[in-house]
């Protein structure tokens, strides 16, 4: 009996030691857009697939023809949590109460916007309006609804401005009490930025991360906010230094790491991406 206990204890210690050598031992979250086509066809079956991949944290950016109550019931039945609810800029501004009620029904802590309306190149005036709106509606979400607003970069924000970029302007001029950020690492890397450096620079401004990788050979410096979806590849097979970003994100205290794969083969790529990050060593 004593020998069995010693062996069991040794085994547990070894397992803990092995886990402690991993860079990313936890399960990642998922962005619903990754499985948008599947969700549109069958929400319940898609949630089963998400759960089968070991994922229990989702950022929804669509209700997929369900009411918030219906979607909440489906995720609850599977032990899945919606931590973030993504909406359009227009809905944030014009349907704030409706957005907040949906987010709270889903169980989300965050309301996320992933774009700023503009025509042509993103300008200082566009950034100034966004700062005013984000501060205003971020305050409403927090003070009236107990929710946190986060902005997700989409590449176009990195237009040069003064000694930095208009993204820097957004971060520095929004009120940290009411506005936080979610970094999409592809949409920082493709415009020519270093995602790890941004995480180190702005630290606790970030609450969440979109994990993606960019196909090798794709030229950087693109400020359009767009790239073909097939340029999303399995994590670790593209150009982005995923380990360096994960280390910087952990230092910044980020809690939510959502895999987003916009490609048409996300169903086959996502398990490989999960395997890659969960086998990384410190």
What DSSP line would sit under 95-140, residue for residue? SHHHHHHHHHHHT-SEEEE-----SSS--HHHHHHHHHHHHHHHHH
Residue 217 lies in a domain: no
State the average pLDDT over residues 87-98. Answer: 98
Residue 59 lies in a domain: yes
Q: Which residues contact 34 (CB under 8 A, 6 or more apart)?
A: 259, 260, 261, 262, 266, 270
The yes-or-no verdict on residue 136 having pLDDT over 60 is yes
- What is the residue range of 120's domain? 26-212+226-278
Residue 152: strand pairing partners: 182
Give yes or no for a contact between 103 and 59, defined as CB atoms under 8 angstroms apart.
Answer: no
Please report, for the domain that includes residue 169, its CATH number. 3.20.20.150
Residue 147: band (very low, low, confident or very high) from pLDDT cuts 50, 70, 90: very high
Residue 18: band (very low, low, confident or very high) from pLDDT cuts 50, 70, 90: low
Residue 108 lies in a domain: yes
The yes-or-no verdict on residue 11 having pLDDT over 80 is no
pTM higher than the cut 0.95: no
Q: pLDDT at position 52, please?
A: 97
Residue 14: band (very low, low, confident or very high) from pLDDT cuts 50, 70, 90: very low
Structural domain tally of the chain? 1
State the average pLDDT over residues 222-228. Answer: 95
State the average pLDDT over residues 54-65. Answer: 97
Q: pLDDT at position 3, please?
A: 43
Residue 12 lies in a domain: no
pLDDT tens sequence across 28-45: 999 999 999 999 999 999
The yes-or-no verdict on residue 161 having pLDDT over 50 is yes
């Amino acid at each position: 009996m004593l020998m069995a206990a010693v062996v069991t204890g040794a085994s547990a210690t070894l397992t803990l030691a092995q886990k402690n050598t991993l860079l990313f031992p936890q399960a990642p979250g998922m962005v619903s857009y990754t499985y948008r086509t599947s969700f549109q066809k069958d929400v319940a079956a898609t949630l089963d697939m998400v759960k089968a991949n070991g994922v229990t944290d989702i950022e929804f950016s669509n209700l997929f023809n369900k009411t918030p109550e219906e979607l909440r019931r489906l995720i609850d039945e599977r032990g899945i949590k919606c931590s973030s609810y993504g909406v359009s800029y227009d809905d944030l501004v014009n349907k704030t109460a409706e957005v907040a009620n949906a987010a709270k029904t889903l169980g989300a802590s965050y309301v996320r916007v992933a774009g700023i309306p503009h025509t042509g190149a993103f300008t200082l005036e566009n950034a100034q309006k966004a700062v005013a709106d984000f501060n205003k509606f971020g305050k409403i979400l927090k003070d009236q609804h107990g929710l946190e607003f986060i902005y997700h970069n989409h590449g176009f924000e990195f237009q040069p401005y003064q000694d930095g970029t208009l993204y820097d302007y957004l971060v520095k001029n929004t009120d940290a009490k009411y506005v936080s950020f979610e970094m999409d690492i592809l949409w920082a890397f493709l415009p020519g930025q270093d995602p790890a450096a941004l995480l180190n620079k702005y630290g606790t401004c970030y609450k969440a991360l979109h994990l993606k990788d960019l196909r090798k050979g794709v030229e950087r410096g693109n400020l359009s906010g767009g790239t073909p979806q097939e340029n999303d590849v399995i994590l670790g097979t593209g150009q982005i230094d995923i380990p360096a970003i994960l280390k910087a994100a952990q230092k910044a205290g980020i809690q939510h790491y959502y895999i987003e794969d916009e490609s048409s083969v996300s169903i086959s790529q996502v398990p490989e991406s999960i395997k890659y990050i969960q086998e990384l060593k410190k």
